[in-house]
Structure 1
């Protein structure tokens, strides 16, 4: 367990891409992550981490991917395979069920909903850094989807900007076990200051003081 102190006034929980398409049965991407997500207890772990963060007075930042809208990528020169596939399949479609929040992770009144990111980094072309600085955040804890793409890219960028970064096993998933292993065991130690289990971060948050 990390000996990091998560002071509520300076800690932010980054909840990445909590859409129905990712997290709900019937979502367009759920079949791709269901096996790994079920194995690690993703939904229950996310519920526990988000709930205890709010109870401890830790600011929740919802960091959403760009919703599908007609013409999103018109005149773009270089789409990634994921962007092209998402565009073709209308993943996270604006105004549709798949592009709505999973009901257990919908933003609450005091949450900060960051501008939508186009690629993998929650910082690129958004107001995330501004919002973190406005709220006095020095420590970020990233949870949500996916471990080896948006979680990793956002967390790496947070480190580059000088934030203390914590990754949480069990509160994220990936298409495959190998991708999840790479995110936490191979790549994570190169940029994250702490890599903990969901139970460990819940315990740490419970011990945090207002």
Structure 2
């Protein structure tokens, strides 16, 4: 068989595969983009809401990253939508896990890092004065949680994972917090879409969780020729089990979490 014929057959097989996905059964209905929509059925006791980096540096005009993410946060209504999810967790007895970002002084001795790691360290993002414990985050500092979220986070039930140091949960105990609670379905939201949120999505999927991403309860940096939110939404749609708005998720919680 010639190399050209082999390539032609391979191409035909790939086209057939994508065609099958686009014309999948009613169980996995296709959206307008042609990809299947597997969905996530929410089950009481097996579902958690995971929120990445709900902190001042990302979500407040007082934060050091506001000039980069503020437009996206404002457009999506991210701050209010995250609070709606936290409130839904509290009212429906859904496990809430916070995966924060934080740098202690000792972490500033890191010898190398990626582009945005260097950018974050350059503006002292998520930095604290000592190693993190219950009093390690200075009140109203950039590393602190948004004030309106504290009643949900400091309620004695919410699990606050160890801080992650780059983007994903591989360097903290988010997955452990979920596994120990018997969770296999995750509603994922937080900051920022193409960094910590997407990285958490990838690792949670690799770990065998079903993940529903809340697309307007996140946001991302937007720079000339670099739209972090658009990039994230492309990848998230291709990776996640489901992608919905906050209102759609709240309606699903009301219907399925009993």
Q: Is the structural similarity TM-score above 0.5?
A: yes
Q: What is residue 72 of structure 2 aligned with on the other side?
A: 36
1:18 aligns with 2:54: yes
**Worse overlay, 92-101 or 153-162:** 92-101
2:93 and 2:74 mapped to 1: Cα distance? 29
Alignment of 1:105-120 (within 5 A): 105-106=149-150, 107=153, 108-120=155-167
1:187 and 1:130 mapped to 2: Cα distance? 25
SS of match in other structure, 1:137: coil
Q: What is residue 147 of structure 2 aligned with on the other side?
A: 103
Residue 173 of structure 1, aligned match among 216, 219, 222: 219
Unaligned runs of 5+ in 2: 1-36, 129-136
Q: What is residue 121 of structure 1 aligned with on the other side?
A: 168
Cα distance, 1:85 vs. partner? 2.3
1:130 and 1:68 mapped to 2: Cα distance? 21
Residue 133 of structure 1, aligned match among 179, 184, 188: 179
2:228 and 2:115 mapped to 1: Cα distance? 17
SS of match in other structure, 2:70: helix
Q: What is residue 197 of structure 1 aligned with on the other side?
A: 245
Residue 106 of structure 2, aligned match among 48, 52, 71: 71
Cα distance, 1:42 vs. partner? 1.1
Cα distance, 1:189 vs. partner? 2.7
1:125 and 1:69 mapped to 2: Cα distance? 14
Q: What is residue 187 of structure 1 aligned with on the other side?
A: 235
SS of match in other structure, 2:188: strand
1:3 and 1:83 mapped to 2: Cα distance? 33
SS of match in other structure, 1:165: strand
Structure having the higher Rg: 2
Cα distance, 1:84 vs. partner? 1.9
Q: In the alignment, is the contact (CA less than 8 A) between 1:91 and 1:99 conserved in 2? A: yes
Unaligned runs of 5+ in 1: none
2:104 and 2:123 mapped to 1: Cα distance? 11
Provide the alpha-carbon RMSD of the alignment: 1.8
Instruction: From the superposition, tell whether residues 188 and 209 of structure 1 become closer, same or farther in structure 2 (CA, over 3 Å).
Output: closer
